[in-house]
Amino acid sequence: MGQPAASRGRAATPTLGKAMLNKYARAFFTRVLTPFAAFLIRRGVSPDTVTLIGTAGVVAGALVFYPRGEFFWGTVVITLFVFSDLVDGNMARQLGRSSRWGAFLDSTLDRVADGAIFGGFALWYAGRGDDNLLCAVSIFCLASGQVVSYTKARGESIGLPVAVNGLVERAERLVISLVAAGFAGLHKFGVPGIQYLLPIALWIVAAGSLVTLIQRVVTVRRESAEAEAAAARQEEQGSGAAT
């Protein structure tokens, strides 16, 4: 969940590499999903409905399968519903809609989906996974992801650009975690040693999220100081002109 929101009202400031990946990946999926999106529009389905169904599917996949250790099937279900996020954006473009409400709904439900995924990991390690440390790491991934998103939103709400591309942002958190979880689930099919991919991935996401959080806090502090200094200079110039 997350990419279509840009087409429904949100702006993004990706790095060159991310921009190129986004350009070609989006072009491919646009061609593949446009007929399906058009079909849903003809049936009277709204982009918001697709967003809600997609989030519900991700939450169900994470909280039904992951706490039972069914990482492979849980990841399959989540991946299928994650594509709904591309569909709703495609529908919005076809309908010519770019609404603040759509952007808000996407962003809000992204947080719900993220919480369910890392919450599912935490429930597994708190229960049958029997590893309190990894449970704590999963909870940290959940919390830090929410705070990383909040720092950008709060900085922008007070008029700052928050012009920083963090080390591990939402897309990286999900790709690393879901790919590792999917492969780790192959352990139940007899693949030896592969179950350790998920713990490694969670530690990487936790460390990367911490670095990203620090990057954003430092950036907001710098931008805030620069904005206040610029405002002070402008005020001094205005006072000088008045005299």
Question: Over the chain (243 residues), what is each successive 10-residue block's mean pLDDT?
Answer: 44 41 62 89 92 95 97 96 83 83 89 96 97 98 95 93 89 94 96 96 97 96 94 81 64
Domains for the chain: give ranges and CATH numbers. Answer: 19-237 (1.20.120.1760)
The pLDDT of residue 243 is 62
Q: Please give the model's pTM, rounded to 2 decimal places.
A: 0.84
- Residue the block writes with tokens 């999106």: 37
Q: Classify the phi-psi angles of 154: left when phi > 0, otherwise alpha if psi is within -120 to 50, otherwise beta.
A: alpha
Write out the binding residues for Mg(2+). Answer: 85, 88, 106, 110
Q: In Å, what is the CA distance from 182 to each residue of 9, 85, 124, 171, 175?
A: 32, 20, 15, 16, 10
Structural element, H or E, at residue 232: helix 197-242
Q: Phi, psi at residue 47, to the nearest 5°?
A: -55, -35
**Residues classed as catalytic:** 110
pLDDT at 8: 53
Known binding positions for a CDP-1,2-diacyl-sn-glycerol: 48-51, 89, 93, 99
Dist. CA 44–CA 50, nearest whole Å? 11
Instruction: Please report the pLDDT score of residue 235 as a whole number.
Output: 82
